[in-house]
């Protein structure tokens, strides 16, 4: 009878390593889809090991390249509590992906089995899903080959948003425990969000419609499904939800397009002051925007969602009598607008922590607070409630009807907000609850503070690995001398701030710049981008 090792060798022979060097990056492996077969197969091997490490708990595998172009794809692992894969295991993923031959792969796999102290012999379990990319089903085949070879139990959830898969992993592993999170089904996800939303807007209904651009990705059909559970409590208008033509995914639409270009999708028909939002390709990011005075485009990005959420949660904590028990904090990255950071510390009086890019870093930092609000400026984020915060909220006896009302909303929000990971659908409903409660238009939201003009530029370089950062990616250690050039350029502009870092999801270096005026921000970004180009081999 064939052993597991024989099966791995035979299955691996169907998915030869193409000779590339792979790296588990900001959000897993991500690249042109036709290079990914061996990588996905090997991620399947690792998912099986990871489940064994946790005594057979469910591990998630998501096949998506999120905001990347349609011809890309990617794969990432979800840990038992629904979080991103623990960082120390990223190196194992990279090691497996880079083994050159089937035999070498088996040797790496067996060594990991030995070194990882896998404990019990419980059957490993994996659940997986994919976004709407054309390459997704082929890559699922590669994954299944690994799961079959290793005798792993698996469930195919077909098309899901990334946060839905995170939800299902968390529900699967917490069922019957004090951390029980919800019903282990897609329907359970919609019911949980919809019930929480309906409770939160019981006394204050959202005003006017919100138009949601779904990047022609999986968020479209899933949002339409969610709407069915909302019983008309909100008018959500879905646009850019064409998933039948996968080549349209993220093309001239979606959260990344809107954030990077600082403009609405060209297909947008929104009138002045109409509330609009854009999701990304796997619906784990969201940004809002509207056409302001003189047709000026106004972006309400992740920073704005963070400040809105932090201010509202602070109010609810005070109004419900829980201000003393709930320590609220905000986590941002270097991309956060300087004005947003200032607003949180000065106006809201809340602490701010800065981490490197990547949800896993922000999530981890947010767990230090009872209520940790974390958002990347690109719209990726959520609010995490600690176990103590849940206890405080659930055990608190309100002393007045006003306290009871605030407490009910706070409870509803702790259910509405996805605790596992940033979730565009959950964040959409969160923003809608807050605007409804405050009675705010998008203009009122914008008026809370004035953003410093900023610009994001992508520089294509030959060797992005040359860019080594420190201080939460705010400063460069290498290439030598480049940081001094950036410092001196920043010094020439009022409120000038800029940094450069290698993307973990695209073959590019990202340059961010902000300054007192639009012209200065653009100029600074361009000059830093030029310096980045000059510092790398042509
Ligand atoms: C992923 C990560 C985000 C990160 C983004 C861009 O998002 O989950 O944390 O901000 O990539 O990362 P980078 O600048 O390193 O390319 P998504 O939505 O693409 O999965």
Q: Of all protein residues, whose CA lies closest to atom 3 belonging to ligand 1?
A: 358
Topology classification of domain 4-159: Alpha-D-Glucose-1,6-Bisphosphate; Chain A, domain 3 (3.40.120)
Q: Are 321 and 403 in contact (CB under 8 A)?
A: yes
Annotated binding residues for substrate, written as ranges, equal 376-378, 501-505, 510
Over residues 476-498, the mean pLDDT reads: 97
Percentage of the chain with pLDDT > 70?
A: 100
Q: Choose the residue to mutate in 380, 420, 421, 509 for probing ligand 1, maximizing ligand atoms within 8 Å of C-beta.
A: 380
Q: Under CATH, to which class is 190-297 assigned?
A: alpha beta
66 is catalytic: yes
User: Is residue 418 predicted with pLDDT exceeding 80?
Assistant: yes
C-alpha of residue 27 to centroid of ligand 1, in Å:
6
Q: Are 486 and 476 in contact (CB under 8 A)?
A: yes
CB atoms within 10 A of CB 56: 17
- Model pLDDT for residues 256-313, shown as the tens digit of each residue: 999 999 999 999 999 999 999 999 999 999 999 999 988 899 999 999 999 999 999 9
C-alpha of residue 383 to centroid of ligand 1, in Å:
18
Residue 26 confidence (pLDDT): 79
Interface pTM, i.e. ipTM: 0.95
CA distances from 33 to 21, 220, 250, 380, 534 (A): 15, 22, 16, 23, 31
Residue 506 confidence (pLDDT): 85
C-alpha of residue 262 to centroid of ligand 1, in Å:
18
C-alpha of residue 44 to centroid of ligand 1, in Å:
22
Same fold yes or no, 4-159 and 454-534: no
Q: Which two tokens stand for residue 350?
A: 């809340």
b/e per residue, 353-363, with b = 16+ CB within 10 A?
Answer: bbbbbbbbbbb
3-state secondary structure 298-342: EEECHHHHHHHHHHHHHHHHHHCCCCCCCCEEEEEECCCCHHHHH
Closest Cα partner for 58 from 184, 143, 142, 163? 184
User: Is residue 411 predicted with pLDDT exceeding 80?
Assistant: yes
Q: What is the mean pLDDT of the chain?
A: 96
Residue 538 confidence (pLDDT): 66
Return d(Cα 287, Cα 396) in angstroms, integer: 34
Question: Which ligand 1 atom sits closest to the C-alpha of 74?
Answer: 20
The confidence band for 392, taking pLDDT boundaries of 50, 70 and 90, is very high
Closest Cα partner for 276 from 267, 288, 264? 288
Sign of CA dihedral 212, 213, 215, 217: positive
User: Is residue 120 predicted with pLDDT exceeding 90?
Assistant: no
Q: Choose the residue to mutate in 23, 25, 27, 464 for probing ligand 1, maximizing ligand atoms within 8 Å of C-beta.
A: 27
Lowest mean pLDDT across 218-222, 434-438, 505-509: 505-509
Over residues 169-176, the mean pLDDT reads: 98
* Domain range list for the chain: 4-159, 190-297, 302-446, 454-534
The confidence band for 119, taking pLDDT boundaries of 50, 70 and 90, is confident
Question: Is 537 buried (19+), middle (13-18) or exposed (0-12) by CB count in 10 A?
Answer: exposed
C-alpha of residue 357 to centroid of ligand 1, in Å:
7
Residue 428 confidence (pLDDT): 98
Superfamily name and number for 454-534:
Alpha-D-phosphohexomutase, C-terminal domain (3.30.310.50)
Percentages (nearest 5) of helix, strand, coil residues in the chain: 45, 20, 40
Q: Choose the residue to mutate in 26, 257, 258 for probing ligand 1, maximizing ligand atoms within 8 Å of C-beta.
A: 26
- Model pLDDT for residues 59-79, shown as the tens digit of each residue: 999 999 999 999 999 999 999
DSSP for 112-128, written as a single string? HHHHTT--S-PPPEEEE
Catalytic site residue from 48, 51, 66, 311: 66
- Model pLDDT for residues 300-313, shown as the tens digit of each residue: 999 999 999 999 99
What order do you get walking across the sheet with 286-291 strand by strand?
Answer: 236-239, 210-213, 275-279, 286-291, 297-300
Q: Is the pLDDT higher at 487 or at 2?
A: 487
Residue 398 confidence (pLDDT): 94
Q: Of all protein residues, whose CA lies closest to atom 4 belonging to ligand 1?
A: 358
Question: Which ligand 1 atom sits closest to the C-alpha of 64?
Answer: 20
- End-to-end, the C-alpha distance of the chain in Å comes to 55
DSSP for 171-190, written as a single string? HHHHTTSTT----SSHHHHH
C-alpha of residue 379 to centroid of ligand 1, in Å:
10
Q: Of all protein residues, whose CA lies closest to atom 1 belonging to ligand 1?
A: 27
Q: Are 163 and 421 in contact (CB under 8 A)?
A: yes
Residue 353 confidence (pLDDT): 97
The confidence band for 94, taking pLDDT boundaries of 50, 70 and 90, is very high
Percentage of the chain with pLDDT > 90?
A: 95
Around ligand 1, the residues with Cβ closer than 6 Å are 26-27, 66-67, 280, 284-285, 357-359, 376, 378, 380, 503-506, 510
Return d(Cα 357, Cα 353) in angstroms, integer: 12
The separation between CA 55 and the C-alpha centre of its own chain, rounded to angstroms, equals: 27
Annotated binding residues for Mg(2+), written as ranges, equal 66, 280, 282, 284
The confidence band for 27, taking pLDDT boundaries of 50, 70 and 90, is confident
Q: Which residues contact 390 (CB under 8 A, 6 or more apart)?
A: 414
C-alpha of residue 26 to centroid of ligand 1, in Å:
6
Q: Of all protein residues, whose CA lies closest to atom 5 belonging to ligand 1?
A: 358
Q: Of all protein residues, whose CA lies closest to atom 9 belonging to ligand 1?
A: 358
Question: Which ligand 1 atom sits closest to the C-alpha of 76?
Answer: 20
User: Is residue 462 predicted with pLDDT exceeding 90?
Assistant: no
Residue 76 confidence (pLDDT): 97
Q: Does domain 302-446 have CATH number 3.10.180.10?
A: no
Annotated binding residues, written as ranges, equal 66, 280, 282, 284, 376-378, 501-505, 510
DSSP for 445-462, written as a single string? HHTT--PPPEEEEEE--S
Q: Choose the residue to mutate in 362, 378, 467 for probing ligand 1, maximizing ligand atoms within 8 Å of C-beta.
A: 378
Lowest mean pLDDT across 48-57, 92-101, 117-126: 117-126
Q: Which two tokens stand for residue 219?
A: 């968020």
Beta strands 297-300 and 275-279, pairing class: unpaired
């Amino acid at each position: 009878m064939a052993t597991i090792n024989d099966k791995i060798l035979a299955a691996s022979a169907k998915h030869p390593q193409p000779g590339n060097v792979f790296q588990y990056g900001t959000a897993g492996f991500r690249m042109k889809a036709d290079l990914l077969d061996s990588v996905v197969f090997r991620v399947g091997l690792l998912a099986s090991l990871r489940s064994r490490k946790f005594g057979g708990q469910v591990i998630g595998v998501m096949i998506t390249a999120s905001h990347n172009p349609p011809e890309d794809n990617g794969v990432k692992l979800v840990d038992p509590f629904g979080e991103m894969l623990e960082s120390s295991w990223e190196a194992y993923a990279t090691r497996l992906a880079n083994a050159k031959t089937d035999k070498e792969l088996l040797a790496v796999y067996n060594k990991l089995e030995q070194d990882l102290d896998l404990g019990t012999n419980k059957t490993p379990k994996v659940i997986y899903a994919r976004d709407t990319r054309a390459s997704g089903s082929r890559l699922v085949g590669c994954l299944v080959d690994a799961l079959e070879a290793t005798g792993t139990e698996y469930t195919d959830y077909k098309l899901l948003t990334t946060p839905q898969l995170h939800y299902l992993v968390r529900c699967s592993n917490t069922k019957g425990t004090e951390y029980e999170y919800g019903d282990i089904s897609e329907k359970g996800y919609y019911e949980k969000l919809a019930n929480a939303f309906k409770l939160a807007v019981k006394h204050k209904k959202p005003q006017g419609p919100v138009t949601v651009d779904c990047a022609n990705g999986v968020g479209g059909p899933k949002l339409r499904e969610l709407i069915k559970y909302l019983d008309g409590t909100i008018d959500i208008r879905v646009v850019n939800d064409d998933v039948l033509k996968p080549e349209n995914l993220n093309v001239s639409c979606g959260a990344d397009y809107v954030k990077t270009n600082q403009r609405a999708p060209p297909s947008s028909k929104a009138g002045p002051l109409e509330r609009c939002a854009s999701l990304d390709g796997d619906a784990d990011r969201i940004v809002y925007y509207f056409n302001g005075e003189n047709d000026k485009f106004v972006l309400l990005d992740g920073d704005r969602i963070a400040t809105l959420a932090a201010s509202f949660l602070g109010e609810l904590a005070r109004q419900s009598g829980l201000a003393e028990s709930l320590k609220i904090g905000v986590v941002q990255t270097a991309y956060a607008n300087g004005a947003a950071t200032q607003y949180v510390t000065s106006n809201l009086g809340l602490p701010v922590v800065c981490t490197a890019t990547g949800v896993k870093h922000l999530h981890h930092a947010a767990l230090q607070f009872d209520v940790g609000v974390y958002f990347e400026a690109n719209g990726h984020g959520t609010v995490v409630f600690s176990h103590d915060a849940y206890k405080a909220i659930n055990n608190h006896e309100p002393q007045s009807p006003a306290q009871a009302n605030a407490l009910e909303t706070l409870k509803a929000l702790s259910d509405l907000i996805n605790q596992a990971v940033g979730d565009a659908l959950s964040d959409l409903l969160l923003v809608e609850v807050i605007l409804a409660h405050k009675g705010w238009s998008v203009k009122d939201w914008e008026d809370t503070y004035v953003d410093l003009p900023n610009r994001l530029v992508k520089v294509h370089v030959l060797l992005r690995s040359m860019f080594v950062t420190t201080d939460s990616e705010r400063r460069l250690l290498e290439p030598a001398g480049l940081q001094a050039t950036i410092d001196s350029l920043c010094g020439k502009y009022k409120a000038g701030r800029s940094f450069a870092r290698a993307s973990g999801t695209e073959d590019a270096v990202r340059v961010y710049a902000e300054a007192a005026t639009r012209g200065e921000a653009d100029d600074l970004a361009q000059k830093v981008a030029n310096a980045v180009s000059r510092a790398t081999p042509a």
